[in-house]
Structure 1
Amino acid sequence: MATEQQAGRVVMVHGAYADGSSWADVIPLLHQAGVAVMSVQNPLTSLADDAAATRRALDLQDGPTVLVAHSWAGTVISEAGDHPNVTGLVYVAARAPDAGEDYAALAGRYPKAPASAGLTFTDGFGRLNEATFLAHFANGVPEERARVLYAAQGPIAETLFASRTTAAAWRTRPCWYAVSKQDHTIAPDLERFLADRMGATTIEVDAGHLSMITHPRVIADLVLEAIRATAERPTA
């Protein structure tokens, strides 16, 4: 098996209504390829807090690193992906705002995602209700697994999605994007627009929003492709 230095490093960033274990099906496949992996635990309290958590993980890497994001975390890696250790960005059914962009206005040009209807807030923090989580956020995931994910979902600060980035790392790093064709959380056509705008190497997965759970081999292979393609790229 290849050593970690030979095979590369990956930092994985989870989205809203989730935690770092959302990558649990992909991580063993990367380990089998000799890749060193760290999964960030985002507080989901603000973009600044999530970006800081991601930067702390990147600071711990001792060489070139591919940064991977799902969903909301695409905003986080767009903000934090200019870290000098980062050689490439992988977006999995993820947001990818431009610097200072009103992402909600951009998303409003596309059909409204059904998952958003199930978001409710209490004392400044929001969660998806169970029916919406199972039917739309975790569509395609076996029901028992989806119920476990629902129980472990990370609540989000009420102001989280209003955050605007100060940077767009996808403008300065090579990018890969996995579009989820059956996504009920982000409109697939919006994902396609984002991937095209960043000039990403793009694949389409016949999956719901959680493709890294339902199609972990596909996502792992995309990450490995990004590692290989950026292996000789110098860090910033």
Structure 2
Amino acid sequence: MSTPDIILVHGAWADGSSWAKIIPLLSARGMTVTAVQLPLTSFDADVAAVSRAIALSQGDIVLVGHSYAGAVIGQAGNDSRVKRLVYIDAFAPDAGESAGSLFAQFAAAPLNNEIRPDAEGFLSLTPKGIATLFAQDLDPIEQTMLHATQGPINGAALGGTLRQAAWHSRPCFYLIGENDLAILPVEQERMATRMNATIKRVASSHVPMLSHPLAVADFIVMAAASSC
């Protein structure tokens, strides 16, 4: 089987530069890589952005989603050319669920206290939230960059529900950040187990693609090469 194309999908409070350390690692291994820019204005708009990237791809596809994007790839991944789904510290809703509905069920969600809405319903993270709960294993310069470049997300996007969860019909792979304080590891474990995903772990915060890029790249390569 030929090497599938890799489509990387960022989460809330981020943009395509979340994958800046991953793209060259995958490209060096001969993979064709696209990093989607989500508008973060609504769930349907985000799914449509991923669907456009899928349409432009030339071959089979591995969809990779971080955080909120786990919900997005769960819906967009129903395209027949998507062969595998990779979740990086990500939400994994079933049909009728959303990232927000899962988050509301978590026993502990300390990030809630560091989310700030604006007058139009877009949510941003505070500097403290990024430094202590979101990316605590990055250096202060990178944390400042994350705060300055974060993509505010419309709160309604987090409530966008899946109509059909692609993970029921495709092999799934889930990388758990063992020091994640945004989506606690125990919650990640529950979601990954429900999907019957292949699970690996990394000693990372919520952003392993920035703090442990080689581990994330290796995990994506493994998923792309899997015969399951």
CA–CA distance in 2 between the matches of 1:51 and 1:105?
18
CA–CA distance in 2 between the matches of 1:102 and 1:224?
28
Q: Report how far residue 93 of structure 1 moved.
A: 0.2
1:206 and 2:203 are equivalent in the alignment: yes
Q: Percent identity?
A: 39
1:35 and 2:31 are equivalent in the alignment: yes
**Is residue 78–residue 97 contact of structure 1 (8 Å, CA) maintained in 2?**
yes
Match of 2:216, SS? helix
Q: Report how far residue 7 of structure 1 moved.
A: 3.3
One-letter code aligned to 1:220: A
CA–CA distance in 2 between the matches of 1:107 and 1:152?
24
1:221 and 2:218 are equivalent in the alignment: yes
**Is residue 98–residue 158 contact of structure 2 (8 Å, CA) maintained in 1?**
no
1:46 and 2:42 are equivalent in the alignment: yes
Give the match for residue 60 of structure 2: 64
Match of 1:48, SS? helix
Q: After superposition, what is the alpha-carbon deviation per residue over 1:58-85, rounded to whole angstroms, capped at 9, x for unaligned?
A: 0011111100000000000001101122
Match of 1:100 among 93, 96, 103: 96
Structure 1 residues 1-236: aligned runs within 5 Å: 6-101=2-97, 103-124=99-120, 125-230=122-227
**Is residue 46–residue 157 contact of structure 1 (8 Å, CA) maintained in 2?**
yes
Q: Report how far residue 138 of structure 1 moved.
A: 1.2
Using the size of structure 2 for normalisation, the TM-score is 0.95
Cα RMSD (Å): 1.5
CA–CA distance in 2 between the matches of 1:95 and 1:168?
12
Equivalenced residues, count = 227
Using the size of structure 1 for normalisation, the TM-score is 0.92
**Is residue 61–residue 85 contact of structure 1 (8 Å, CA) maintained in 2?**
no
CA–CA distance in 1 between the matches of 2:223 and 2:89?
16
Match of 2:79, SS? coil
CA–CA distance in 2 between the matches of 1:65 and 1:109?
31
Unaligned runs of 5+ in 1: none
One-letter code aligned to 2:88: V
Q: After superposition, what is the alpha-carbon deviation per residue over 1:163-192, rounded to whole angstroms, capped at 9, x for unaligned?
A: 211110010110000011111111211100
**Is residue 111–residue 187 contact of structure 1 (8 Å, CA) maintained in 2?**
no
**Is residue 93–residue 99 contact of structure 2 (8 Å, CA) maintained in 1?**
yes
One-letter code aligned to 2:158: F
Match of 1:63, SS? coil
CA–CA distance in 2 between the matches of 1:49 and 1:210?
23
One-letter code aligned to 1:61: S
